[in-house]
Chains A and B, each alone.
Chain A
């Protein structure tokens, strides 16, 4: 929503986008300038940062590495001032707690990479959680498959709506509301205790001393990183997010890419729902994944991924999720309140986007 401060005369002087030149079926949307000749993702807040691709000089160092810096500072603080912080048990606990958020945030990062947003992830987690006890009778793996397929279905609806031209916020908002309701209807609004060794292992087991949820999150991160850097799909994803009209003109399958990205996000959210359910040994459709969309978006943004799309930082997203988790842990271990943690998180979010602002015309 940011626009040039002036000094970009290339912009169209008429308010109506309909008259933009070279109008194609999907033109004039996205973070990109509504008219053709301006290159992607280079609608800077200040006209002197004209070339983000050159990355020379003006690019804020803080927006790229700020999250690592903040994490380092917080870790050092804890190492010095927090008793029993540097214990294996505590580190393991923090990592296990952050794993579901990290998995959801990775899917969110991909969606945001296309210039979209997925508000429905929390409700998708709840749907997955609600489905598990219903299908456990067929064994744990069929139940998990059903849950993950449901996540894919939610993603399919989201992606379909977005590909049809509905703004991602509204499309996924509909499923946020309807999805939570559907989860409650499925589970009859009740919390169901689950005693299943497979699910318990998925939520709390360990391989080589590493908790399985953490391992899952790391696997997802590596896969996401691979897809982004090495697979054609990742290129398409970033192209769609960077400059959708150009991607369309270049003959990229824009709609299919969008749909796939939302399906991935839905599947990952469902996986997070399965993990959470396994760890709690209970299916809780009212609270599973509640407000996790906010934590996930926060992790992505703090990690340096611009909301405008076209760029995704996988490691940054993981670190962003970890940072937010550590803030809560630190505050609690120092006998401060949860409310303090929220206010600190708010300050960090604003700092993160402020650091990014010269580069991204979000």
Chain B
């Protein structure tokens, strides 16, 4: 997936160039946040309290928190020059395993899915990092595998495991702190931690380096590119797994059909956030803005009562195309 020329611009640093080029770089970095502010303003003006009410905002936040977890992992993967198609299936598998493991208490409901998801991430990472197989195909295979496993565990979806309501996991998953759902807080905490790791640690820097120019330079400099890739895919699977556990806790069961197409939504959020699919450039802040933007748009279309939910897809897809078009154009401008 190394095609695409416009995105191969210099690393996004506003310090390069002057005047208009700097403005373009800024727009590319913070475009999603800017549009988000506009859309939220528009939404609150049009729909008033049915949009800005605490209940509605809480629903958006809850919905966004699961996507944010997946998209955070996806950001690491994409920054390192890869892609992870398996996250949607891994999320479903994790939910199923959480429900299955709840017979051994909260520990089983959390550790079993995370262990299995970590293992899947490890397989992804080893095949991509060490064996140097194409990320797209490898994670396509694990997409099929994880979905298959989720169906196998649930006897082809006929067996629904229920998480007991008195389990600590269920109570935590459904609890509110100061009106904010616990999954939201967990997702935010993970996001902040991921931000620190990405921007303040050696590992974070190496992720950027591994994704820059397909990692040739990083490898020549002696960076352990393979090991970085392995870790990045493990992280992505673990975060998808965590999202699955949280959804299971919220719904007290695990459905093997969950999360279909979630990987594409996460990729869309990351790309809308200004991270380049070619790797090496982007930011987690952009991903947060991308996630919120997608969820707010979906919510706003729901607010218009007359539109069917199919319009969500139309708008989200069109929006994605527009964003990448603008990005490509900006990148072109800056090169000239």
Interface positions of A (Cβ within 8 A of B)? 1-6, 11-18, 25-31, 34, 45, 115-117, 119, 157, 161-162, 164-171, 173-182, 184-185, 188-189, 244, 291, 294, 297-298, 301, 307-309, 337-343, 345-347, 349-350, 353-354, 357, 362
Given contacts A30-B3, A338-B156, contact A17 B317 (CB under 8 A): no
Inter-chain contact B310/A181, CB cutoff 8 Å: yes
Residue of A nearest to B11 (CB): A16
Q: Please indicate the chain A residues that have their CB under 8 angstroms from the CB of B214 in the complex.
A: 1, 3, 34
Q: Check: B235 CB closer than 8 A to any chain A CB.
A: no
Interface residues, chain B, with chain A CB atoms under 8 Å away: 1-11, 81-83, 127-128, 131-138, 140-145, 147-152, 156, 209, 212-220, 225, 260, 264, 267-268, 271, 277-278, 280, 308, 310-318, 320-321, 324-325, 328, 332, 335
Which residues of the partner chain A approach B260 to less than 8 Å between Cβ atoms?
291
**Contact, CB under 8 Å: B216 / A3:** yes
The reply to whether B152 and A339 contact each other, CB–CB distance below 8 Å, is yes
**Bound complex: CA A108 to CA B245 (Å):** 36
Residues of B within 8 A of A115 (CB): 3
In the bound assembly, the distance between CA atoms of A2 and B132 in angstroms comes to 5
Q: Determine whether the beta carbon of B267 is less than 8 Å from that of A173.
A: yes
Extra contacts besides A177-B320, A181-B314, A343-B144 (7): CB < 8 Å? A3-B214, A11-B220, A167-B324, A298-B144, A339-B147, A339-B156, A357-B133
**Cβ-defined contact, A15 with B213, below 8 A:** yes
A298 to B145, CA, bound (A): 13
Contacting residues, chain A, for B3 (C-beta < 8 A): 29-31, 115-116, 162, 167-168, 244, 309
Q: With A and B bound together, what is the CA distance between A31 and B214 in angstroms? A: 10
A349 touches B318 (CB 8 A): no
Q: How many A-B residue pairs have CB under 8 A?
A: 239
Could you say which of A1, A116, A166, A339 contacts B81, with CB atoms under 8 Å apart? A1
Q: How far apart sit A28 and B335, CA to CA, in the bound complex (Å)?
A: 13
Compute how far the CA of A5 lies from the CA of B137 in the bound complex, rounded to whole angstroms: 20
Q: Give the residue name and chain of the B residue nearest to A182 (CB).
A: B314
Contact B134 A294 (CB under 8 A): no
Cβ-closest chain A residue relative to B1: A169
> Once the chains bind, are A337 and B131 in contact (CB under 8 Å)?
no
Q: A30-B3, A167-B7 are in contact. Are A298 and B151 (CB under 8 A)?
A: no
* Nearest CB on B from A353, distance (A): 5
Q: B9: which A residues are within 8 A, CB to CB?
A: 18
User: Sorted from nearest, which 10 A-B pairs have the closest CB atoms?
Assistant: A178-B317, A181-B313, A342-B148, A165-B6, A177-B317, A167-B4, A184-B310, A339-B151, A362-B134, A174-B321
A164 touches B328 (CB 8 A): yes
- Cross-chain contact B134 with A1 (CB below 8 angstroms): yes
Closest residue of chain B to A12, judged by CB? Answer: B216
B156, B216, B314, B335 pick with most chain A CB within 10 angstroms: B216
Contact indicator B215/A3 (Cβ below 8 Å):
yes
Do B213 and A362 have beta carbons less than 8 Å apart? no
Cβ distance A21 to chain B, nearest Cβ, rounded Å: 14
26 sampled A-B residue pairs with Cβ under 8 A: A1-B134, A1-B214, A2-B132, A3-B216, A15-B11, A45-B132, A117-B136, A162-B4, A165-B4, A165-B7, A166-B4, A167-B1, A168-B3, A168-B4, A169-B1, A170-B4, A173-B320, A177-B313, A177-B316, A177-B317, A178-B313, A178-B318, A188-B308, A294-B144, A307-B136, A354-B131
Answer whether A161 and B140 are a contact pair too, CB < 8 Å, given A3-B216, A25-B5: no
In angstroms, Cα B132 to Cα A294, docked, is 21
Q: How far is A18 from B308 in the complex, measured between Cα atoms in Å?
A: 46
**Contacting residues, chain B, for A29 (C-beta < 8 A):** 2-5, 8
A51 vs chain B, min Cβ distance (A) = 19
Task: Give the CA-CA distance A177 to B309 in the complex, in Å.
Answer: 12
Contact call B217/A184, Cβ cutoff below 8 A: no
Among residues of A, the one whose C-beta sits closest to the C-beta of B127 is A350
A17 to B5, CA, bound (A): 11
Q: Are A175 and B321 in contact (CB under 8 A)?
A: yes
**A291 to B, closest residue via Cβ:** B260
Closest A residue, CB atoms, query B276: A167
> Can you name the residue of chain B whose Cβ is closest to the Cβ of A341?
B148
Least CB distance from A235 to B in Å reads: 19
Given the contacts A166-B4, A337-B151, A346-B145, A16 and B10 also touching, CB distance less than 8 Å: yes
Cα separation A126 to B271 with both chains bound (whole Å): 25
- Kindly provide the distance from the CB of B306 to the nearest chain A CB, expressed in whole angstroms: 12
Alpha-carbon distance A346/B131, docked complex (angstroms): 16
Find out whether the CB atom of B128 lies under 8 angstroms from the CB atom of A349. Answer: no
Contact between chains at A170 and B271 (CB < 8 Å): yes
A17 and B83 contact, Cβ closer than 8 Å, known pairs A12-B216, A340-B152: no
